[in-house]
Amino acid sequence: MTSGAAARTILCMKWGTKYGAEYVNRLYGMVRRHLRGEFRFVCLTDRNEGIRAEVQCLPIPDLALPDGIPERGWKKLTTFAADLHGLRGTALFLDLDVVIVDDITPFFEQRGDFLIIHDWKRPWRITGNSSVYRFEIGAHPEVLERFRTEHEDIRARLRNEQAWLSEVMAQQGVLGYWPADWCASWKYHCIPRWPLSLWRAPTIPPGARILVFHGVVNPPDALAGRSQGNWRRANPAPWINDHWHE
Protein backbone atom coordinates (compact mmCIF):
# COMPACT_ATOMS: atom_id res chain seq x y z
CA MET A 1 0.00 0.00 0.00
CA THR A 2 1.59 3.25 -1.10
CA SER A 3 1.32 6.58 0.67
CA GLY A 4 -0.93 7.75 -2.16
CA ALA A 5 -3.31 4.85 -1.49
CA ALA A 6 -3.44 5.72 2.19
CA ALA A 7 -4.17 9.36 1.39
CA ARG A 8 -7.12 8.64 -0.95
CA THR A 9 -9.91 6.35 0.17
CA ILE A 10 -13.08 5.39 -1.65
CA LEU A 11 -15.78 4.57 0.90
CA CYS A 12 -19.04 2.74 0.34
CA MET A 13 -21.51 1.07 2.68
CA LYS A 14 -23.58 -2.09 2.32
CA TRP A 15 -25.91 -3.47 4.93
CA GLY A 16 -28.72 -6.00 4.78
CA THR A 17 -29.70 -7.67 1.51
CA LYS A 18 -31.04 -4.82 -0.65
CA TYR A 19 -27.78 -4.65 -2.62
CA GLY A 20 -25.73 -7.71 -3.43
CA ALA A 21 -21.96 -8.06 -3.59
CA GLU A 22 -22.09 -7.35 -7.33
CA TYR A 23 -22.86 -3.70 -6.58
CA VAL A 24 -19.65 -3.38 -4.57
CA ASN A 25 -17.65 -5.27 -7.18
CA ARG A 26 -18.94 -3.16 -10.05
CA LEU A 27 -18.38 0.05 -8.11
CA TYR A 28 -14.77 -0.99 -7.53
CA GLY A 29 -14.38 -1.75 -11.25
CA MET A 30 -15.75 1.65 -12.23
CA VAL A 31 -13.48 3.43 -9.76
CA ARG A 32 -10.45 1.50 -10.98
CA ARG A 33 -11.18 2.57 -14.56
CA HIS A 34 -11.96 6.19 -13.75
CA LEU A 35 -9.62 7.22 -10.90
CA ARG A 36 -6.03 7.97 -11.84
CA GLY A 37 -3.36 6.78 -9.43
CA GLU A 38 -3.50 4.61 -6.33
CA PHE A 39 -6.32 4.47 -3.81
CA ARG A 40 -7.76 2.38 -1.01
CA PHE A 41 -11.28 1.00 -1.49
CA VAL A 42 -13.19 0.32 1.72
CA CYS A 43 -16.66 -1.15 2.11
CA LEU A 44 -18.30 -0.76 5.51
CA THR A 45 -20.58 -3.77 5.68
CA ASP A 46 -22.27 -6.45 7.75
CA ARG A 47 -21.96 -9.01 4.92
CA ASN A 48 -18.77 -9.46 2.94
CA GLU A 49 -19.65 -12.67 1.07
CA GLY A 50 -18.78 -12.47 -2.63
CA ILE A 51 -16.97 -9.13 -2.46
CA ARG A 52 -13.80 -9.04 -4.56
CA ALA A 53 -10.42 -9.30 -2.82
CA GLU A 54 -9.28 -5.78 -3.75
CA VAL A 55 -11.98 -4.34 -1.48
CA GLN A 56 -11.18 -3.96 2.22
CA CYS A 57 -14.31 -4.92 4.15
CA LEU A 58 -14.69 -3.40 7.61
CA PRO A 59 -17.62 -3.43 10.08
CA ILE A 60 -20.11 -0.59 10.04
CA PRO A 61 -19.54 1.39 13.26
CA ASP A 62 -22.40 1.25 15.76
CA LEU A 63 -24.78 4.17 15.39
CA ALA A 64 -25.49 3.72 19.12
CA LEU A 65 -29.18 4.65 19.09
CA PRO A 66 -31.55 3.40 21.79
CA ASP A 67 -33.20 0.04 21.13
CA GLY A 68 -36.22 0.16 18.84
CA ILE A 69 -35.23 3.23 16.85
CA PRO A 70 -34.87 2.41 13.12
CA GLU A 71 -31.40 3.26 11.78
CA ARG A 72 -32.27 3.39 8.07
CA GLY A 73 -30.01 5.72 6.10
CA TRP A 74 -28.72 7.41 9.26
CA LYS A 75 -25.99 4.75 9.25
CA LYS A 76 -24.00 6.89 6.82
CA LEU A 77 -23.24 9.26 9.69
CA THR A 78 -20.93 6.60 11.15
CA THR A 79 -18.41 7.47 8.42
CA PHE A 80 -17.70 10.53 10.59
CA ALA A 81 -16.56 8.53 13.60
CA ALA A 82 -13.57 10.05 15.38
CA ASP A 83 -11.69 6.81 14.73
CA LEU A 84 -12.92 5.03 11.61
CA HIS A 85 -10.97 1.79 11.94
CA GLY A 86 -7.72 3.75 12.03
CA LEU A 87 -8.20 5.09 8.48
CA ARG A 88 -6.63 8.44 7.62
CA GLY A 89 -6.63 10.83 4.68
CA THR A 90 -9.29 12.05 2.27
CA ALA A 91 -12.37 9.90 1.69
CA LEU A 92 -14.81 10.05 -1.21
CA PHE A 93 -18.06 8.34 -0.25
CA LEU A 94 -20.06 6.79 -3.09
CA ASP A 95 -23.48 5.18 -2.91
CA LEU A 96 -23.52 1.62 -4.23
CA ASP A 97 -26.02 2.37 -7.00
CA VAL A 98 -24.14 5.20 -8.75
CA VAL A 99 -22.77 4.73 -12.27
CA ILE A 100 -19.38 6.32 -13.00
CA VAL A 101 -19.08 7.47 -16.61
CA ASP A 102 -15.98 9.67 -16.64
CA ASP A 103 -12.80 10.55 -14.74
CA ILE A 104 -13.45 11.05 -11.00
CA THR A 105 -9.92 12.19 -10.16
CA PRO A 106 -11.18 15.82 -9.98
CA PHE A 107 -13.37 14.85 -7.01
CA PHE A 108 -10.15 14.60 -5.00
CA GLU A 109 -8.68 17.76 -6.53
CA GLN A 110 -11.63 20.13 -6.05
CA ARG A 111 -10.93 22.67 -3.31
CA GLY A 112 -13.06 22.55 -0.18
CA ASP A 113 -13.25 21.09 3.30
CA PHE A 114 -16.50 19.18 2.80
CA LEU A 115 -18.18 18.72 -0.59
CA ILE A 116 -21.54 17.18 -1.44
CA ILE A 117 -24.08 17.22 -4.29
CA HIS A 118 -26.38 20.23 -4.12
CA ASP A 119 -30.01 19.10 -4.16
CA TRP A 120 -31.35 19.27 -7.72
CA LYS A 121 -35.05 19.63 -6.98
CA ARG A 122 -34.87 22.41 -4.38
CA PRO A 123 -31.62 24.29 -5.03
CA TRP A 124 -32.69 27.20 -2.82
CA ARG A 125 -32.12 24.95 0.22
CA ILE A 126 -28.71 24.11 1.67
CA THR A 127 -29.48 20.39 1.70
CA GLY A 128 -27.13 18.17 -0.23
CA ASN A 129 -27.55 14.71 -1.71
CA SER A 130 -25.20 12.33 0.07
CA SER A 131 -24.76 9.90 -2.82
CA VAL A 132 -21.34 11.51 -3.35
CA TYR A 133 -19.49 13.44 -0.62
CA ARG A 134 -15.86 14.06 0.35
CA PHE A 135 -14.29 14.75 3.71
CA GLU A 136 -11.17 14.25 5.78
CA ILE A 137 -11.53 11.07 7.81
CA GLY A 138 -11.83 11.83 11.54
CA ALA A 139 -11.97 15.61 11.02
CA HIS A 140 -15.66 16.08 11.86
CA PRO A 141 -16.53 13.73 14.75
CA GLU A 142 -19.22 16.15 15.95
CA VAL A 143 -21.46 15.08 13.04
CA LEU A 144 -21.92 11.65 14.62
CA GLU A 145 -21.46 12.66 18.26
CA ARG A 146 -24.15 15.34 18.10
CA PHE A 147 -26.54 12.99 16.33
CA ARG A 148 -26.10 10.42 19.08
CA THR A 149 -26.94 12.97 21.79
CA GLU A 150 -29.54 15.04 19.86
CA HIS A 151 -31.15 12.30 17.74
CA GLU A 152 -34.70 12.91 19.03
CA ASP A 153 -34.67 16.56 17.97
CA ILE A 154 -32.79 15.89 14.72
CA ARG A 155 -35.09 13.06 13.62
CA ALA A 156 -38.16 15.14 14.49
CA ARG A 157 -36.96 18.11 12.41
CA LEU A 158 -35.16 16.49 9.52
CA ARG A 159 -36.12 13.79 7.06
CA ASN A 160 -32.81 12.02 6.64
CA GLU A 161 -29.09 11.92 7.30
CA GLN A 162 -28.15 14.18 4.39
CA ALA A 163 -30.26 17.00 5.79
CA TRP A 164 -28.44 16.75 9.13
CA LEU A 165 -25.06 16.43 7.45
CA SER A 166 -25.70 19.56 5.38
CA GLU A 167 -26.99 21.47 8.39
CA VAL A 168 -24.08 20.73 10.70
CA MET A 169 -21.46 21.38 8.01
CA ALA A 170 -23.15 24.70 7.19
CA GLN A 171 -23.05 25.61 10.87
CA GLN A 172 -19.31 25.05 10.82
CA GLY A 173 -18.91 27.11 7.65
CA VAL A 174 -17.41 24.27 5.61
CA LEU A 175 -20.38 23.17 3.46
CA GLY A 176 -19.51 23.16 -0.24
CA TYR A 177 -20.97 21.64 -3.40
CA TRP A 178 -19.61 19.84 -6.43
CA PRO A 179 -19.73 21.65 -9.79
CA ALA A 180 -23.32 21.30 -10.94
CA ASP A 181 -22.69 19.11 -13.98
CA TRP A 182 -20.41 16.52 -12.31
CA CYS A 183 -23.16 14.51 -10.59
CA ALA A 184 -26.27 14.02 -12.71
CA SER A 185 -29.61 12.72 -11.56
CA TRP A 186 -30.84 9.78 -13.61
CA LYS A 187 -34.47 10.83 -13.43
CA TYR A 188 -34.00 14.60 -13.73
CA HIS A 189 -31.12 14.86 -16.21
CA CYS A 190 -30.78 11.61 -18.18
CA ILE A 191 -34.38 10.86 -19.10
CA PRO A 192 -35.72 13.15 -21.89
CA ARG A 193 -38.68 15.32 -21.01
CA TRP A 194 -42.13 14.05 -21.91
CA PRO A 195 -43.19 13.45 -24.65
CA LEU A 196 -39.65 12.97 -26.03
CA SER A 197 -39.15 10.23 -23.44
CA LEU A 198 -41.71 8.12 -25.32
CA TRP A 199 -39.29 7.46 -28.18
CA ARG A 200 -35.89 8.75 -27.13
CA ALA A 201 -33.56 6.74 -24.89
CA PRO A 202 -31.90 8.31 -21.83
CA THR A 203 -28.52 9.93 -22.40
CA ILE A 204 -25.51 11.05 -20.38
CA PRO A 205 -25.69 14.82 -19.82
CA PRO A 206 -22.68 16.90 -20.98
CA GLY A 207 -20.04 17.17 -18.27
CA ALA A 208 -21.44 14.35 -16.11
CA ARG A 209 -18.94 12.16 -14.29
CA ILE A 210 -21.28 10.24 -11.99
CA LEU A 211 -24.92 9.30 -12.56
CA VAL A 212 -26.97 9.15 -9.37
CA PHE A 213 -29.91 6.77 -9.03
CA HIS A 214 -31.93 8.26 -6.20
CA GLY A 215 -35.40 6.87 -5.62
CA VAL A 216 -36.71 3.46 -6.67
CA VAL A 217 -34.86 2.97 -9.99
CA ASN A 218 -31.43 1.30 -9.92
CA PRO A 219 -28.94 0.68 -12.77
CA PRO A 220 -30.45 -2.72 -13.74
CA ASP A 221 -33.86 -1.04 -14.04
CA ALA A 222 -32.43 1.73 -16.23
CA LEU A 223 -30.74 -0.86 -18.41
CA ALA A 224 -34.03 -2.67 -18.99
CA GLY A 225 -36.31 0.39 -19.08
CA ARG A 226 -38.21 -0.50 -15.88
CA SER A 227 -39.79 2.41 -14.02
CA GLN A 228 -40.51 0.53 -10.75
CA GLY A 229 -43.51 2.79 -10.23
CA ASN A 230 -41.51 5.99 -10.73
CA TRP A 231 -43.52 8.65 -12.58
CA ARG A 232 -40.59 9.32 -14.92
CA ARG A 233 -40.82 6.41 -17.35
CA ALA A 234 -37.89 5.77 -19.65
CA ASN A 235 -36.89 3.60 -22.56
CA PRO A 236 -34.12 1.02 -22.05
CA ALA A 237 -30.58 2.41 -21.85
CA PRO A 238 -28.31 -0.40 -23.08
CA TRP A 239 -25.27 1.88 -22.77
CA ILE A 240 -25.45 1.38 -18.99
CA ASN A 241 -23.62 -1.90 -19.65
CA ASP A 242 -20.68 0.04 -21.06
CA HIS A 243 -20.03 1.53 -17.63
CA TRP A 244 -21.72 -0.55 -14.93
CA HIS A 245 -19.50 -3.66 -14.85
CA GLU A 246 -16.50 -5.09 -13.08
Model confidence at 122, in pLDDT bands (50, 70, 90)?
A: confident
- pTM score: 0.95
Q: What is the mean pLDDT of residues 189-202?
A: 91
- Inform me whether the pLDDT recorded for 206 exceeds 90: yes
pLDDT, residue 4, reads 45
Cβ neighbour number for residue 60 with a 10 Å cutoff: 17
**Which of the pair, 2 or 190, is modelled with greater confidence?**
190
Question: Could you give all domains of the chain from N- to C-terminal order, each with its CATH number?
Answer: 3-177 (3.90.550.10), 183-242 (no CATH)
**Which of the pair, 54 or 230, is modelled with greater confidence?**
54
| Dihedral class, residue 68 (left if φ above 0, else alpha if ψ from -120 to 50, else beta) | left
Which of the residue ranges 75-84, 87-96, 219-228, 235-244 would you say has the lowest mean pLDDT?
Answer: 219-228
pLDDT in tens, 14-38: 998 899 999 999 999 999 999 999 9
pLDDT in tens, 155-176: 999 989 999 999 999 999 999 9
User: Which residues, at least 6 apart from 129, have a Cβ–Cβ distance to it below 8 Å?
Assistant: 116, 117, 118, 119, 120, 162, 183, 212, 214
pLDDT, residue 1, reads 39
**Mean pLDDT for all residues in the chain:** 93
pLDDT, residue 68, reads 64
Q: What is the mean pLDDT of residues 44-49?
A: 96
pLDDT in tens, 64-92: 887 766 666 799 999 999 999 999 999 99
CB 131 within 8 A of CB 65: no
Q: What is the mean pLDDT of residues 143-150?
A: 95
Model confidence at 6, in pLDDT bands (50, 70, 90)?
A: low
C-alpha span between 55 and 48 (Å, rounded):
10
pLDDT, residue 70, reads 65
Cα end-to-end span (Å), the chain: 22
